[in-house]
């Protein structure tokens, strides 16, 4: 069943996961999009970085979060895009072998136009130790049922 703007309420919560981040994926993403040495050189990262080893790019973590969000929440929603994100934070480094999951809570649902509204969910990504590794507040445009 398609979820429209009218179906979303402040306080609604969703969870979805588990996504394992691999060493190879960290290296491949970083080489292409964020080639800083602590994302691309495991030996140097283990010896010289304050993280004590290889870590994923924050943008990689954001991308995994987006994948989990689409698979777990947005895939069946009447979403027509987003206006951006607020409060984007990388809280704890993601490491090879971390298994990520998301928790989502709707903070606002704003009727914007006759054909759509904006839903503002707080999205938090957690690792297997229940550490919040990433968070953001989305500004997601949902179609309204009457306009569909």
Identify the structural domains of the chain with CATH numbers, from first to last. Answer: 5-147 (3.10.129.10)
User: Quick one: pLDDT at residue 64?
Assistant: 98
From the list 5, 24, 9, the residue with the least C-alpha distance to 113 is 5
- Average pLDDT along the chain, 148 residues, taken 10 residues at a time: 96 97 98 98 95 97 98 96 98 98 98 97 98 98 87
CB 142 within 8 A of CB 116: yes
Closest CA to 108 of 123, 120, 124: 120
CA 64 to CA 71: how far, in whole Å?
11
pLDDT at 1: 82
Cα separation, 143 vs 139, whole angstroms:
13
d(CA 39, CA 75): 30
Output the pLDDT for position 148.
Answer: 58
């Amino acid at each position: 069943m398609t979820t429209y703007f009218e179906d979303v309420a402040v306080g609604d919560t969703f969870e979805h996961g588990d996504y394992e981040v691999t060493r190879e994926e960290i290296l491949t993403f970083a080489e292409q999009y964020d080639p800083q040495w602590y994302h691309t050189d495991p030996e140097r990262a283990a010896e010289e970085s304050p993280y004590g080893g290889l870590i994923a790019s924050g943008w990689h973590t954001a991308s995994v979060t987006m994948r989990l969000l689409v698979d777990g929440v947005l895939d069946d929603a009447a979403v027509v895009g987003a206006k951006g994100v607020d409060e984007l934070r990388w809280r704890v480094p993601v490491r090879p072998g971390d298994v990520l999951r998301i928790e989502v809570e709707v903070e606002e649902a704003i009727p914007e136009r006759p054909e759509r509204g904006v839903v503002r969910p707080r999205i938090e990504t957690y690792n297997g130790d229940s550490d919040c590794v990433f968070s953001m507040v989305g500004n997601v445009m949902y179609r309204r049922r009457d306009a569909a």
